[in-house]
Amino acid sequence: MRSSSRQGPRAGIGLKAATLGAVLFLHVPLLIIILYAFSIEERSFQFPIPGFTTQWFAVAWEREDVRRALWLSVKVGAIATAAALVMGTLAAAAVWRSRFFGREAISLLLILPIALPGIITGISLRSAMGLLEIPFSTWTLVIGHATFCIVVVYNNVLARFRRTSRALIEASMDLGANGFQTLRHVILPNIATALLAGGMLAFALSFDEVIVTTFTAGQQATLPIWMLSELIRPRQRPVTNVVAVFVIAVTFIPIVLAFYLTRDTQDTAGALK
C-alpha cells in the first residue's frame, strides 16, 4: 500500500508486458475450460470448438453419480471447515495471547500439512487408518481435510488478532465483562470477518482437494475424485467439462467474497501459507 499509492515512476513496457503475460498465463486456461463446456464436440478436445451448445449442463445435472459426488464434497467441506474454524481460532488465540516455549514450533506444526507434499499427508493417514483398521467413511475424509484446513483459518485469524490491540480485552474485563462476555461482545465481533474469510477459503480448499482425498476416500467419490477418474478413463468428456466449470464457480465465489471481506486489512493475502 505505502509505496504503491504514491505516484512513483512509471513502469517500463517490458515490466508491464511481463505482468500481463503472467496474469494471462494464470487465467487463460480457465477461460478455455469454460469455453469447452459449451462445445458440441464429444470425443476430442478440438479447437476451435466446432459449435456451441448449453445442453451439457442439463445432462450433467441429471447424472446421479455427479450429484452424489457433489453432495459428498459439500458435506465433507462443511464439516472439515467447522472443525478447522474451531481449532485454527484456538491456536491463533493461544499464539496471540502469550509467548510460550515452543510457540514457533506450533506455527511449523500447523503449516506442515500443506508445506509437505499432500501425498505424504495422504499416505500417512492411510497407513495409520490401515494400522488401526478404521473403515473409510465421510469421517476419514473429514479428518484429512480438516488437517490441512486448520492452517488457513489460523493464518487468517492470527493476522486479524495481530492487528487487534490486546488492550481491548483488558478494557472489556476492566469494565466488568467476564471471559465469555468478552468473547461474545469484543473478540468475536472483531474477528468475525477474518473467521468468515478463513472459513470460506478452507471450504474452497477442501472442495477441490484431490491428493489427500484419494488416500482417505476408499470407494467414496468426492467431486474431484469423480473428475480424476474421468481424466484417467474418460467416459463423457462434455460432462467433465461442465463439472469443471461448476468446480471453478463453487471455489471462486467464496474466495472472491473472502477477499472483499478482508480487503481493508489484506488478511487473506497474508494467509497464503
Partner 1 sequence: MTAATLPAPLPRGGGVSRFLYGRPGLVLLLLLAPPLLWLGIIYLGSLFTLLAHSFFYLDEFSGVMVREVSLDTWKEFFRSPAHWDVVLRSALMAAAVTLASALIAFPLAYYMVRYAGLRLKGLLYLAVMLPLWSSYLVRVYAWKLILAKEGIVSWLAAQTHLTWLLEALLATPVVGGPSLSTSYLGTFTVFTYIWLPFMILPIVAALERVPATVIEASGDLGANPGQTFRRVILPLAFPGVVAGSIFTFSLTLGDYIIPSIIGKSTPFLGETVYRLQGTAGNIPLAAAFTVVPIVVMGVYLMIAKRLGAFDAL
Partner 2 sequence: MAGEGVPAVTFQGVCRHFGEVRAVDEVSFSIADGEFFSMLGPSGSGKTTCLRLIAGFERPDRGHIQVHGVNVEGVPPFDRDVNTVFQDYALFPHMSVGENVEYGLMIRKVPRAERRKRAEEMLGLVKLDGLYARRPGQLSGGQRQRVALARALINRPRVLLLDEPLGALDLKLREAMQAELKTIQRQVGITFVYVTHDQGEALSMSDRLAVFNHGRIEQIGAPAEVYDHPATQFVAGFVGQTNLLEGYLAQRLGGFPASYAVRPERIRILPAEAEVPPGFASIDGRVSAVTYLGANSRVEVEVDEGGRLQVVEQNVEGGMAMEGRAPGTAVRLVIERRHIQAVSESR
Residues 39-78 that bind partner 1 (CB under 8 A): 44-48
Q: Does 178 contact partner 1 by CB under 8 A?
A: yes
Dist. CA 98–CA 217, nearest whole Å: 39
- Residue 66 and residue 85: Cα distance in Å, rounded? 28
Closest listed residue to residue 72, CA positions, set 147, 133, 136, 153:
136
Closest CA to 68 of 253, 219, 269, 258: 219
3-state secondary structure of 52: strand
- Interacting partner of 256 out of partner 2, partner 1, none (Cβ under 5 to 8 A depending on kind): partner 1
Count the neighbouring beta carbons within 10 Å of the beta carbon of residue 12.
9
Nearer to partner 2 by C-beta: 16 or 263? 263
Shortest distance, CB of residue 194 to partner 1, whole angstroms? 15
**167 in contact with partner 1 (CB under 8 A):** no
Q: What does 189 interact with, of partner 1, partner 2, none (CB < 5 to 8 A by kind)? A: partner 2
Q: Which does 165 bind (CB under 5 to 8 A by kind): partner 1, partner 2, none?
A: partner 2
CB-CB contact of 107 with 95 (8 Å): yes
Of 74, 196, 255, 257, which one interacts with partner 1 (CB under 8 A)? 255
Q: How far is the CB of 4 from partner 1 (least distance, A)?
A: 6
When CB distances are held under 5 to 8 angstroms depending on the partner's kind, the choice from partner 2, partner 1, none that residue 174 binds is partner 2
